[in-house]
Amino acid sequence: MHVPDGLLTAPVALASAALSAACVATAAVRSRTRAGARATALRGVMAAFVFAAQMLNFPVAGGTSGHLVGGALAAVLLGPAAAIIVMTAVLVLQCLVFADGGLLALGANVLDMGVIHPVVGYALYRLVAGRTPNGARRIVALAFGSWGATLATAATCAGQLALARVAPPGVLLSAILGSHVVVGAGEAIIGALVLGALQRVRPELLTVDARGDRLPPLALGVFGLSVALALALFVTPFACSWPDGLEQAFRRIGVVPSSARVELAAPLRDYSVPGLSGALSTSAAALLGTLLVFAVCVVLGRSLAPRREREKLTTAR
C-alpha cells in the first residue's frame, strides 16, 4: 500500500504530511516521558521486528501472497504512541534506503500506515476487548481491530488518490477497498495467530493492558482528531450521494420539504463551502464540521465533567 511519488498532487501530499507530522510529534513527546536506553532500544528493535515481519509473505489465493502491515499489532503490544514512532521509522527507512514509497508521498504513507493503522486498530481493540480482556476476547479484539484498521487505511489511501484525480472515485474505492477486505482478513488472521502464540508461550509479555497504558487526554485528542480529519478530508467527498431513507420516503409519497418555509442561513448548507466546488468543497465542509464538533465536545466535556474527573485529567497530563 506504499504510495509512490507522482500519483498524489502537492496539496494532498502536503495536507497528509501536516496531519501525520502532528501525530508523530505528539507520539514523540509522549515517548519523551519514557525516555532512556531501555525504551529507545525497545522501539528500535521492535521496528526491526515489524520490518522483518512485513517481509514474511503468506500464500493467499490464485498464486498471490500477502504480508502483515503490523500497525494494529504493534499498537496492542507496545501502546499506540510507541507504535506510531515504530511504524514511522519503518516507513522512513523503507523510503530513504529501499526507495519503497515516495519521498513527497512519505507524509501520506505515514498517515495511512503509521498513524491510521495503529490508532484505528488500537481503538477498535479497546472497544471490543474492554477493560479486563481474557485470552479469547483479546484475540477476537485484535483480529477485528486489524481488519478495521486495514479497511480504514485502504479507504484513506483510495480517497487520497481520488482527490488527486488519479482515477474516478468509484473505480479507486472499489478496486482498493474491495481487495483490502481480503487483505484485512489476512492481517486479522496473522495478528490473531501471533497473539495466540504469544499468549501460549509468554503470556506475561502482554502487559500493555495490565500496566494500564492510558494515553493522556492531549495525545488522545491529537490522535483521534487527526484520524477524524483524515477521514473527513479524504473519504467524505466520495461518500454515496444517494438520498437517505427519510428523503427517499418523502420523495415516494410526494412530500417535498419546503426549504422556503424554514430558510435559515446555514453557513455550510448541503455540506459545501460557498466559493468552492466539487470534492474540494465537501472536503472543506467536512474539515470545518469535524473541527467544530471537536471544539464543542471539548467545551462540553470540560464544563460537564465533575470537578474530581477534571482534576484527574489535569494531573494525568
Partner 1 sequence: MRPLVEERPAGRRLVAALLVLLGLGLAPRSLTVVASCTVLGLVVALGLAARIALRRLGSRIALALPFSLGVAGLALFQPDPLASFVVLAARTTASIAVLQLVVLTTPFARIVDALRRARLPRALVDTVSLLHRYLGLVASEMHRMRRARAARTWDDSRRETWRAGAAVIAGSFVRSLARAERVALAMRARGGS
According to CB under 8 A, which residues from 68 to 87 bind partner 1?
68, 77, 85-86
Yes or no: say if 153 and 69 are a contact pair by the CB < 8 Å rule.
yes
In the window 101-120, what residues touch partner 1 (CB under 8 A)?
102-104
Q: For residues 97 and 240, which CB has a smaller minimum distance to partner 1 in the complex? A: 97
Q: For residues 105 and 149, which CB has a smaller minimum distance to partner 1 in the complex? A: 105
In the window 9-48, what residues touch partner 1 (CB under 8 A)?
9-10, 13, 24-25, 27-29, 31-32, 35-38, 40-48
The count of chain residues that interact with partner 1, using the rule CB under 8 A, is 73
Q: Determine, following the binding rule CB under 8 A, whether residue 99 of this chain makes contact with partner 1.
A: yes
**Nearby residues of 212 by Cβ (< 8 Å), 6 or more positions away:** none
d(CA 24, CA 21): 5
Q: Determine, following the binding rule CB under 8 A, whether residue 248 of this chain makes contact with partner 1.
A: no
Q: How far is CA 306 from the centre of its chain?
A: 31
Q: Determine, following the binding rule CB under 8 A, whether residue 88 of this chain makes contact with partner 1.
A: yes
Smallest separation, CB 190 to partner 1 (Å): 6
In the window 178-237, what residues touch partner 1 (CB under 8 A)?
189-190, 193-198, 201-202, 205
State phi, psi for 199 to the nearest 5 degrees.
-65, -35
Q: Determine, following the binding rule CB under 8 A, whether residue 95 of this chain makes contact with partner 1.
A: yes
The set of cell numbers assigned to 181 is 477486505
Other beta carbons less than 10 A from residue 109's beta carbon: 29
Candidates 120-128, 168-176, 243-251, 294-302: pick the segment binding partner 1 (CB under 8 A).
168-176
Candidates 96-104, 228-236, 241-249, 267-275: pick the segment binding partner 1 (CB under 8 A).
96-104
Q: Determine, following the binding rule CB under 8 A, whether residue 272 of this chain makes contact with partner 1.
A: no
Burial of 20: CB neighbours in 10 Å, binned 0-12, 13-18, 19+: buried
Candidates 51-59, 143-151, 233-241, 242-250: pick the segment binding partner 1 (CB under 8 A).
51-59
- Alpha carbon separation from 271 to 139, 157, 248, 286 (Å, rounded): 39, 22, 19, 7
Q: Determine, following the binding rule CB under 8 A, whether residue 51 of this chain makes contact with partner 1.
A: yes
In the list 90, 124, 143, 235, the residue contacting partner 1 (rule: CB under 8 A) is: 90
Q: Determine, following the binding rule CB under 8 A, whether residue 56 of this chain makes contact with partner 1.
A: yes
Q: Determine, following the binding rule CB under 8 A, whether residue 130 of this chain makes contact with partner 1.
A: no
In the window 148-167, what residues touch partner 1 (CB under 8 A)?
161, 165-167
